[in-house]
Chains A and B, each alone.
Chain A
């Protein structure tokens, strides 16, 4: 196909613009990969010379920062298990049972969910957690996140379960299965892709959150990585770029790994029902 001159120029201009926008987004990412391996990293982009692991060595020497990664893992995993299990059961009940007003329940919860884990409710949450006597524990963080994420998780999952024909469980029950058997043998495997989506979403949410652990936790032994990252600021409040970069890279790896694992294992595809 032959292009006219204006079309030709237009295409070049479009490609150039796209390349420019791409570069703007790529630069921080390139910095993010280069800086941790550069002993003299600054905020400017520079190819490490020489490549070094000394930044990582220093970070791993900071026992507070290492403990924080483990704390993040405990809080995120605990939250994910609680949210995943509770949301699955609740969403299944909301989708399948004939509870009157179940639609209203879902939407009310959804409305308040953004409030619960948001900064607006920080004071009441602080008071409740304090009254429960679980201040400065992992449990406090896990419960608060579970409360905040559950409604949305339930909403996502209920939608997913609604799209799955009831006849799966019905056929299991007619064949002799109890409702519990039908749920575990038939329904749960079919809705697993939906649960995986919720689990990844909840994990990322908790892993990356700063405010809640910052407020509910006291001792440095319990702080997650999102808070601990501030230990790489000098007393004057300026970041120590080299260590910050190394720690940030380590901090982001579990999330990347989770995505890769899920996409390899489940492909982020819903396989739903059989085509009729």
Chain B
């Protein structure tokens, strides 16, 4: 196992800047997820770690050793591809044993090792099959097994679960989490699925337009998103973001938006500074799970016509219509959603509120 380090790495494809000036520090034994929408540069970053792309500028270090221009075969890494890349003409045993074959292991030894790993992944009985003769989930595990047969310094995953159906994906996700706890491997995992990143990562690097927007632990990213982009990307459904106007009261802040009022947010220096630069307009963020159907006389409320009321079993999603791009969704864990009217009032607590300035950057609230 080894650490991975990016020093001011950039990568351009002709005029398109896929990755721009990314610095990233991945500790030994960490499981880091690169999370972002498609085209944000996360896969390009991973491919540069693997040596499948060469950075336009910057340095990449694995285990403290510079590998920026090293061929993939000389990096001692393992990678699981999105399309699995199983060799169609080899049976599973030969597929899994291939990394050992190129390392010059004798055939019996490498097949024995492949069998060992395959048994752990519960595909040991399929060793004679061709990749086209097994299911998608089994193909995924075969490609994982091929990455695990040899001791690599770093394990790279390029959206390995995105071709699986929902149930298999959860199962595979749990297994990967178990594997990481078991092996303590250094892993870099690319995904656009925030739930996968939250579940697996020790740290998440949220990427947007070739840059890392926030690099922190999952809980930090969930609790203190650095920008509205991160706030909007992490969480399911994503955080509600509402344009509000601020008025300063006595040591506290008064927020007003369409159908929304909030008071009792303690005034801080940071908020004062933001108000000075962005004017009175800020963005208020509240996660759906922090909204509730308001009881009579509640403060901090938002009122709007009901748009949708979706029952999911343990919870339900109540969505209010404040215009096309300004809907507010609440996750309700009680039976309150059964009694909602055509116009609904939701309430929230001041301690659950996020504030962002005019450029979308987080403003630290009191106590941070």
Contacts and interface: CB of A to CB of B under 8 A. Distances in A.
Interface of A: 165, 167-168, 170-178, 181, 185-186, 189-190, 271-276
A181 B102 contact: yes
B132 interface: yes
Contacts, number: 83
A186 B132 CA distance: 16
B88 A175 contact: no
Nearest to B75: A174
Contacts of B77: 174
B85 A168 contact: yes
B2 interface: no
Contacts of B83: 165, 167, 273-274, 276
Interface of B: 50-52, 71-73, 75-79, 81-89, 98-99, 101-103, 131-132, 139, 143, 146, 150, 156, 163
16 contacts: A168-B87, A171-B79, A172-B87, A172-B102, A173-B52, A174-B78, A174-B156, A175-B146, A176-B103, A178-B102, A185-B87, A185-B102, A190-B88, A274-B86, A275-B132, A276-B163
Contacts of B103: 176
Nearest to B149: A175
Given A274-B83, A274-B132, A170 B52 contact: yes
Contact of B85 (A165, A185, A189, A272): A165
Given A167-B81, A176-B73, 15 more contacts: A170-B50, A170-B52, A170-B81, A172-B98, A173-B51, A173-B71, A174-B50, A174-B51, A174-B75, A175-B99, A178-B73, A185-B87, A185-B98, A271-B132, A274-B86
A274 B88 contact: yes
B81 A171 contact: yes
A185 to B, nearest CB: 7
A190 B81 CA distance: 18
A212 to B, nearest CB: 37
Contact of B84 (A175, A178, A271, A274): A274
A175 B81 contact: no
Contact of B88 (A167, A170, A185, A273): A273
A116 B119 CA distance: 58
B99 A176 contact: yes
Contacts of B132: 271, 274-275
Nearest to B158: A167
Given A167-B81, A170-B52, A274-B132, A175 B87 contact: no
Given A185-B98, A276-B163, A174 B72 contact: yes
B359 to A, nearest CB: 38
A189 B76 CA distance: 25
Most buried by B among A170, A174, A185, A190: A174
Given A170-B81, A189-B89, A274-B84, A175 B52 contact: no
B114 to A, nearest CB: 12
Contacts of B139: 274
B43 to A, nearest CB: 12
Nearest to B139: A274
Contacts of A185: 87, 98, 101-102
A175 B78 contact: yes
Given A170-B52, A175-B98, A177-B102, A186 B87 contact: yes
A172 B75 CA distance: 13
- List the 7 shortest-distance A-B pairs measured between CB atoms, nearest first: A175-B99, A167-B85, A171-B85, A189-B89, A173-B72, A174-B79, A177-B102
A117 B71 CA distance: 42
Contacts of A176: 73, 76, 99, 102-103, 150
A274 B131 contact: yes
Nearest to A172: B98
B37 to A, nearest CB: 20
B98 A174 contact: no
B46 to A, nearest CB: 11
A173 B87 contact: no
A173 B81 CA distance: 13
A276 B73 CA distance: 26
